[in-house]
Chain A
Amino acid sequence: MTGLQHPPHEQHMATPPGRGIFDPQLLDRCISCGFCLPACPTYAVSKDEGSSPRGRITLMRALETGRLDEDDPRLREESSFCLGCRACEPVCPAGVQYGDLLEEWRDHQWRGRHRPPLAQALMMVAERTPLLRMMGLVRRHARTAAVPVQTSLMLGCFERGLFPGVSRAVRTLLPDIAVPPQQGCCGALHAHNGESEKGRELARKLGEQLPGTIVTTAGGCAAHLAGVLGRDRVHELSEHLAKTGATPVGEVKIDGRRARVAIQDSCHLRNGLRVFAEPRALISAVADFVPVRGDESCCGSAGTYSLLRPRDSKRILAPKLDAYEAAGVDYVVTVNPGCQQQLHANLRRRESAIRAVHLADLLAAAAEGRPLTRGRRWRVPRVRFDLRRGSRRRGASGGTAGWSA
């Protein structure tokens, strides 16, 4: 038997030596099957291959091989349009580590003056520990004596100032946990904004400041820290509670009934660490858990994304908020401060009756039998003029009707 002649144009051309921007092992992994397309939020809104994980990897390859100019506008655009949510990773049967590729890409694409100034500014703030510590002290986050112990709580660089109540809630749930105030940024911010080496350095430093197991209330930080310090040393809160066998007590009620509670997954917690069953189980223990279509997909906060690309961020978020409202839930639980801020601000903006609440707050409120508070103090009723009706109405009151708080 003689074989059919295989055609000359099918001779494979080996990948030429590249610019050395990407780890070839990571880049070679993708076989362009396209299984990632339906999982990608930016592909969903753009329907453009170039804004899909597969298309972006094609672009990365073109950058690596020199087929595209280093400063090609589309390269710059896509490295920033990508949320970095890593929803493409769990659905990838070929095992492409897209998150790592994106870090390498941004390291190159956002080098020096190419980095968005806002991202640069945030990273500088995150590195200034005394400044953040001051913010946190003023707002009274939890703290204990700084003795090295087995398990300690990570405060988070921005979380300690923005959501100090979260660390206090964790202390309610885990009275024995140490919360040394002397701790820096985990470096996730840097890793996701073109400074991956700095990001790893900060993580290692934090690992020295908090020896033993690090518990964190931020899914994004958990994934980054676990990547640097090892999976075993880092527990996201829900994971920690599940692992230590803590059973949630009490329940969260509204108007005498159990509260209806949905979740917004943290992308890196779900797609990076594959933790998503744990928070759902905890919510179910203290309230009526309501699964909502799309609760696993990115809320558009995505680290610095909501600041750098506010319009795209809102475009990603809008259908999700519609879904939460259609499901008629009372609360959306978050497991990451970025998501908390994103949902909190945008639910308020649309005067929704739903409130975003961190998992720790929900569980602590249940345990203490107190109603969940109405949110931040500076929320004052606004007087708005409705042009269509020509009548005046109180903006905030409509949105909070029915709260027992």
Chain B
Amino acid sequence: MTLDRTLVAELEAIVGAKHVRTDPGDVEPYARDATPVFRAVPDAVVWPADTEQVAALLRLATERRVPVVPRGAGSNLCAATVPERGGIVLVLTRMDRILEISPGELLARVEAGVPTSVLADAAAAQGLLYAPDPGSRTVSTVGGNVATCAGGLRGLKYGVTRNYVLGTTAVLPTGEVISTGGRLWKDVAGYDLTRLLTGSEGTLGVLTELTVALLPMPATTNTGVAYFGSLAEAGRAVDAIIGDGIVPATLEFLDAKCIGAVEEYANLGLRLDAGALLLFGDDGPADVVDRNLGRIGEQCTISGALEVTLAEDVARSEALLTARRCSLPALSRLGTLTLLEDATVPRPRLAAMVDRIDEIADRYEVPMATFGHAGDGNLHPTCVVDQRDEAAIHRAHKAFGDVFAAAIEMDGTITGEHGVGAAKLPYLAARLGADQMALLRRIKAAFDPAGILNPGKLGS
């Protein structure tokens, strides 16, 4: 579809001509996000300045039945912001003000387009911690994090984005502006729409303002590394650690392929002869952190670790975490197409799932590298292939289909933190069942009767 000229003029009247783009070269960069393969060119890209403009835009879009896809920084990995039906991409990066940080109430109010690390830094400057820590935090926006319920490296102890969203200002597709939740930890007035909007991937409303919870900044943070012969062994060590009664902030693991790729990028002196690396970290009072890391080290040794070392200083600790965040792009150096999945299982099934992934990769003869948030049972099996090798790509997709099926069989899920978007929608019914799928559609229809908001994604 193309937008008629009167509609473009109306868009311009709302946000100003400067903030509406329809030329082919201007809209092309918004055809994709960080998800490989998925691509669809929008008809227009619009940058609103405030909630009122978003409301006016959505009213217009509903009236004219034009699809609207809200977008933050476009760093999601499920094609949630690919405008599969064309229409308007609504970019919220102009709305990037931190409205308030309240140390007394332990909360912050931000506009949706604030980058995650900007909020985290601003909070840290006041001695506060914004706990959600997605891998793309320097790129992603808070609005995007809430819309996809982003996870990250601190999930085990601190939970994920949804645990920190206290309130939202959201614009419904029909133009009403609603405020859900607010500054309260206790508020049971009505359905929990804040939670419903969190992770709704821009299908129910456009989030324009968020109130998020902060925590006092822990006094110290430290990180350690344990090497194992295999990823499954590292998985069993995770069980042993938590079985010992420790819930550290971070428990991440990487297999040998990932270690190699990360080492090539970051030059940290990681051991390249090990089958797996377990990165563990904790924060809190210095003595507690020391004691916990010591105990984790012991459990790793008991579980057969080849070597356990603690970071000697903060810089090393940061470098290790940064390197872990870069696992995916670093892996991409191995080929030209990087396919990544996000299957998640209950923690005790982690080692079994790792073995299962290996078996599936062997069966389909695809090179599979796995890393992930071990403490959360959240795995990122990754296939790096040549984008011109159709047969390998086909086998990789079939292998991932089996991985999803295996995860569901183990009471797990098809996606732990990346989201459904367009990428995993076809697998959603297998996870939710027909009744829940139908309910999702009814919820979607209640919010968005005209079906204009991110169509072809959740709830369709």
- Could you tell me which A residues sit within 8 Å of B by CB distance? 1-7, 10-12, 14-15, 28-29, 31-35, 37-38, 47-50, 52, 54-56, 58-59, 62, 67-69, 72-75, 77-78, 92-95
Interface string of B372-397 (1 = CB under 8 A from A): 00000000000000011010011001
Contacts A35-B329, A37-B73; is A50 near B401 (CB within 8 Å)?
Answer: no
Whether A1 and B426, one on each chain, are in contact in the complex, defined by CB atoms closer than 8 angstroms, is no
Task: Report the minimal beta-carbon distance from A110 to chain B, rounded to whole angstroms.
Answer: 16
Whether A49 and B405, one on each chain, are in contact in the complex, defined by CB atoms closer than 8 angstroms, is no
Whether B136 and A35, one on each chain, are in contact in the complex, defined by CB atoms closer than 8 angstroms, is yes
Q: What number of A-B contacts does a CB cutoff of 8 Å give?
A: 142
Q: Give the CA-CA distance A6 to B425 in the complex, in Å.
A: 10
The yes or no answer to B400 lying at the interface (CB within 8 A) is: yes
Q: Give the CA-CA distance A6 to B28 in the complex, in Å.
A: 27
| Chain B residues within 8 Å of A34, by CB | 33-34, 73-75, 136, 139
The yes or no answer to B228 lying at the interface (CB within 8 A) is: no
Q: Which residue of B lies closest to A56 (CB)?
A: B29
The 5 closest A-B pairs by CB, nearest first: A74-B25, A55-B29, A3-B401, A93-B329, A3-B402
- A sample of 17 inter-chain contacts (CB < 8 A) reads A3-B402, A7-B426, A11-B394, A29-B333, A31-B332, A31-B338, A33-B139, A34-B34, A34-B136, A35-B326, A47-B47, A49-B30, A58-B31, A62-B25, A68-B28, A75-B25, A95-B265
The yes or no answer to B32 lying at the interface (CB within 8 A) is: yes
Whether B405 and A1, one on each chain, are in contact in the complex, defined by CB atoms closer than 8 angstroms, is yes
Task: Report the minimal beta-carbon distance from B363 to chain A, rounded to whole angstroms.
Answer: 10
Task: Report the minimal beta-carbon distance from B74 to chain A, rounded to whole angstroms.
Answer: 6
Whether A37 and B28, one on each chain, are in contact in the complex, defined by CB atoms closer than 8 angstroms, is no
Q: Give the CA-CA distance A73 to B31 in the complex, in Å.
A: 18
Q: Which of B29, B37, B73, B402 contacts A12 (CB 8 A)?
A: B37
Q: Which of A10, A32, A68, A95 contacts B333 (CB 8 A)?
A: A95
Name which of A4, A35, A37 has the most chain B CB atoms within 10 A of its CB. A4
Whether B401 and A5, one on each chain, are in contact in the complex, defined by CB atoms closer than 8 angstroms, is yes
Task: Report the minimal beta-carbon distance from A334 to chain B, rounded to whole angstroms.
Answer: 28
Task: Report the minimal beta-carbon distance from A28 to chain B, rounded to whole angstroms.
Answer: 4
Q: Give the CA-CA distance A339 to B230 in the complex, in Å.
A: 51
Q: Which residue of B lies closest to A54 (CB)?
A: B29
The yes or no answer to B138 lying at the interface (CB within 8 A) is: yes
Task: Report the minimal beta-carbon distance from B238 to chain A, rounded to whole angstroms.
Answer: 24
Interface of A is mostly: loop
Q: Give the CA-CA distance A67 to B32 in the complex, in Å.
A: 14
| Chain B residues within 8 Å of A92, by CB | 329
Whether A10 and B397, one on each chain, are in contact in the complex, defined by CB atoms closer than 8 angstroms, is yes
| Chain B residues within 8 Å of A47, by CB | 47, 91, 93-94, 96
11 additional A-B residue pairs with CB within 8 Å, beyond A12-B387, A32-B36? A1-B406, A6-B426, A7-B426, A10-B423, A11-B397, A34-B74, A34-B136, A35-B329, A58-B31, A58-B32, A93-B326
Task: Report the minimal beta-carbon distance from B319 to chain A, rounded to whole angstroms.
Answer: 13
| Chain A residues within 8 Å of B401, by CB | 3-6
Q: Which of B35, B329, B393, B427 contacts A94 (CB 8 A)?
A: B329
Q: Which of B29, B31, B94, B426 contacts A5 (CB 8 A)?
A: B426
| Chain A residues within 8 Å of B265, by CB | 93, 95
Contacts A35-B139, A58-B28, A68-B24; is A28 near B336 (CB within 8 Å)?
Answer: yes
